[in-house]
């Protein structure tokens, strides 16, 4: 599975161009990267893809020297589970 990376978006599309997995993390006015949306299509659930999206987003956010902010419900739970909520 090959994910595409844009400025504040990482996603996976099928061969027909349908987005099957996505995470959005726009930069807020204060310079934090706000993880606002995580989506995984029903056909891909249960494979750890949302967690992989979070890991890739966190890697990109940190490489850009930004601080993450977790507002998406999945991101909040992931941050708590992975010790990133402090």
Residue 40 belongs to a domain with what CATH number? 3.40.630.30
Q: How many CA atoms lie within 13 A of 36 on its CB side?
A: 10
Residue 13: pLDDT above 60? yes
Residue 50: pLDDT above 90? yes
pLDDT of residue 85: 65
Q: What is the pLDDT of residues 51-78, one digit of tens each?
A: 999 999 999 999 999 999 999 999 999 9
Q: Is residue 45 part of a domain?
A: yes
The mean predicted confidence, pLDDT, of the chain is 94
Separation of alpha carbons 26 and 56, rounded Å = 14
Q: Is residue 86 part of a domain?
A: no
Task: Indicate the pairing of strand 33-35 with strand 68-70.
Answer: parallel
pLDDT, average across residues 8-21: 96
Q: Is residue 76 part of a domain?
A: yes
Q: Is residue 43 part of a domain?
A: yes
Q: Is residue 31 part of a domain?
A: yes
pTM score: 0.91
Separation of alpha carbons 83 and 14, rounded Å = 32
Separation of alpha carbons 75 and 84, rounded Å = 10
Closest by CA to 55, choosing from 73, 31, 39, 79, is 79
Domain that holds residue 11: 4-81
Q: Is residue 33 part of a domain?
A: yes
Domain count along the chain: 1
Q: Copy the structure tokens of residue 30.
A: 């204060």
Q: Is residue 35 part of a domain?
A: yes
pLDDT band at 84 (very low <50, low <70, confident <90, very high): confident
């Amino acid at each position: 599975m090959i994910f595409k990376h844009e400025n504040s978006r990482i996603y996976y599309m099928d061969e027909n161009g349908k987005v099957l997995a996505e995470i959005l993390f726009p930069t807020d006015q204060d310079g934090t990267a706000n993880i606002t949306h995580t989506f995984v299509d029903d056909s891909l659930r249960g494979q750890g893809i949302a967690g992989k999206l979070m890991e890739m987003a966190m890697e990109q956010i940190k490489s850009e020297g930004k601080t993450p902010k977790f507002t998406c419900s999945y991101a909040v739970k992931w941050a708590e589970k992975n010790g990133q909520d402090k």
